[in-house]
Amino acid sequence: MNEQLILASASPRRRELLDQIAVSYIVNAVDIDETPKDAEIAQHYVIRVAAEKSAACLQLLSPTLPILAADTSVVIEGEILGKPENEAHAMQMLQKLSGKTHSVYSAVSVRGKAGHHQALSITEVTFRKIEPTEIKAYWKTGEPQGKAGAYAIQGLGSIFVESIKGSFSGVVGLPLFETVELLSRQGIKVIT
């Protein structure tokens, strides 16, 4: 298969989403500092991190293929919830999300011959009330580990979701509508 782009991410969820739309890729994950800057708002944070990932990949490879990078953050009351460090951290995050609506910001950065373009998807997700015993049981499944906000909407975490307004794929980690628009600017057509 002829690869169409370079994916600057190790995320299996992003690979699954690209597979879903039949876009072929090479994985070249980059490791950058993803620490939010002082007083940086979530929207600016995800856009910056996605751009820094694609720039780091470009610098490493100097490729002929376009580079796609993304970043997704779960945000509640202005606070960016990253990946849980341990069970107590996951408990704290999920208790914060319990019975409330939070935002999921998912930024996409594509660099290629047509330049650098970015897009941002914002999705509102409402959780039902979650019991502490459910959170403990959920942690034991292993699913919350390595997930922003300590949940996976495409997995068992979906049982907590009362409603969603926006992009399901954006919550998973790569908003496909925006991604396809950016790829088309680089000459990559999903449906031909």
Q: Just list the catalytic residues.
A: 71
Other beta carbons less than 10 A from residue 154's beta carbon: 16
Other beta carbons less than 10 A from residue 182's beta carbon: 22
d(CA 66, CA 92): 39
The packing angle between helices 87-97 and 132-140, to 10°, is 130
d(CA 98, CA 66): 39
* The two three-digit tokens of residue 187, written as one number: 């000459």
In the DSSP assignment, the letter for residue 166 is S
Q: How many CA atoms lie within 13 A of 61 on its CB side?
A: 22
